[in-house]
Amino acid sequence: MTLQEAQQLFEKLKNEATKKSELKIYANFLRILSSLKDRELTKEETSSIELELDNLNLESNPKNKRKHFKKALAKFEKHLEAEFSLTLNGYYTNLGIGLGASFGILFGVVFLSSWERWLGISLGLIIGAGIGGAIGKQLDLKAVNEDRVI
């Protein structure tokens, strides 16, 4: 399936959809496909993307469309990240906040537990999420400068 065919398919699905959750998935697919069309891809890169679109089995008619296309979107995003190092906007920020919050809670329990336990956990969470978000934001800016964001 070519990028143009996939875009037409999702335009059709978007026009037929009534649920907001389905519309959001189709809009994400369309945004990614239009971003890929705007890029200057080599023939090998284009064929790799088109092969992945074929493997996603997008033209099937599943019972639960939202679930099927949500899985397909996640698989497609992982393929783009693995093959071309392309990421979504805010990917590293979200990842940094999550990891920072996790390590912040651990830090709060271990090192700040001499205060009230809830206070140590809260401070660790806030500090960890802040540091993780800042690092993630820097990585997102780097990705934008390297034109790796779709």
DSSP labels for 61-87? --S-HHHHHHHHHHHHHHHHHHHH--B
DSSP state, residue 60: S
CA quadruple 118, 120, 121, 126: dihedral positive or negative?
Answer: positive
Average pLDDT over residues 73-81: 94
Which amino acid is present at 57?
N
DSSP state, residue 89: T
Model pTM? 0.81
Average pLDDT over residues 137-145: 96
Between 32 and 1, where is the model more confident?
A: 32
Give the 3-state secondary structure of residue 17.
Answer: coil
| Residues forming beta bridges with residue 90, ordered by sequence position | none
Average pLDDT over residues 69-90: 93
Q: What is the pLDDT of residue 62?
A: 83
Model confidence at 11, pLDDT cuts 50, 70, 90, reads very high
Angle at 118 between CA 114 and CA 120, to 5 degrees: 45
Q: What is the pLDDT of residue 93?
A: 97
User: Is pLDDT of 145 > 90?
Assistant: yes
Kindly provide the b/e burial profile for residues 75-84, where b requires at least 16 CB atoms within 10 angstroms of the residue's own CB.
ebbebbeeeb
**Model confidence over 94-122: pLDDT tens digits?**
999 999 999 999 999 898 878 888 898 99
CA quadruple 39, 44, 48, 50: dihedral positive or negative?
Answer: positive
